[in-house]
């Protein structure tokens, strides 16, 4: 079933999608286009591999989004940019890909004041993600793999500076003796 015709329902206020594999839709970004009056979006047992800005571009009035994925998915940071009126984001049984692209959502959920984010049956610290090695917690994965470690950077730059300084002193000592004897 092709859902791209949904974009013609420009006055639509609520949309409920149940057990729909949106990953098989040919124009996934076109489905939600022109739905600028949509206030409530409920997607349960839907398969969407990637939530990105192309999906949310025209959802300017969206206030509540409930998403219960039946598969692993990713949420790009630009997905929420057009959603200026969003007040509630509920992700039920969310299982994200363990990637730095998804790591932003933990900080956004914690610090975003205008949107109440709920992961339904799990706390933010227990939000799961999946890797080739199995299931992990996204927040822990992000801390281990995605954060920029300033301490390590300072250590490396200081070590390189010391090695460079020792090389300059050594070369000066060697070149100084060579210049004095050949002059």
Tell me the Cα Rg of the chain.
Answer: 26
- Prediction pTM value: 0.75
Dmax of the chain from CA atoms?
Answer: 92
State the pLDDT at residue 83.
Answer: 95
Ranges in the chain, pLDDT < 50:
none
State the pLDDT at residue 151.
Answer: 74
State the pLDDT at residue 41.
Answer: 96
State the pLDDT at residue 57.
Answer: 93
Neighbours of 133 (CB within 10 A): 7
State the pLDDT at residue 24.
Answer: 85
Q: What is the pLDDT of residues 90-111, one digit of tens each?
A: 998 888 999 988 989 988 988 9
State the pLDDT at residue 148.
Answer: 67
State the pLDDT at residue 85.
Answer: 97
Spatial CA neighbour of 88 closest among 64, 69, 108 = 64
State the pLDDT at residue 11.
Answer: 95
State the pLDDT at residue 149.
Answer: 65
State the pLDDT at residue 44.
Answer: 93
């Amino acid at each position: 079933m092709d859902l791209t015709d949904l974009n013609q329902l420009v006055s639509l206020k609520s949309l409920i999608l149940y057990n729909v594999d949106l990953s098989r839709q040919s124009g996934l970004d076109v489905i939600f286009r022109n739905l600028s009056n949509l206030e409530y979006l409920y997607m349960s047992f839907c398969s969407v591999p990637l939530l990105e800005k192309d999906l949310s571009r025209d959802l300017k009035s969206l206030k509540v989004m409930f998403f219960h994925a039946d598969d692993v998915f990713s949420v790009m940071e630009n997905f929420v940019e057009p959603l200026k009126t969003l007040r509630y984001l509920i992700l039920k049984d969310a299982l994200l890909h363990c990637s730095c692209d998804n790591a932003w959502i933990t900080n956004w959920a914690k610090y975003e004041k205008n949107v109440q984010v709920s992961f339904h049956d799990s706390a933010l610290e227990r939000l799961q993600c999946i890797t080739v090695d199995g299931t992990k917690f996204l927040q822990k994965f992000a801390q281990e793999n995605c954060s920029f470690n300033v301490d390590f950077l300072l250590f490396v730059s200081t070590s390189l500076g010391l090695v460079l300084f020792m090389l300059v002193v050594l070369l000066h000592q060697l070149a100084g003796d060579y210049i004095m004897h050949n002059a």
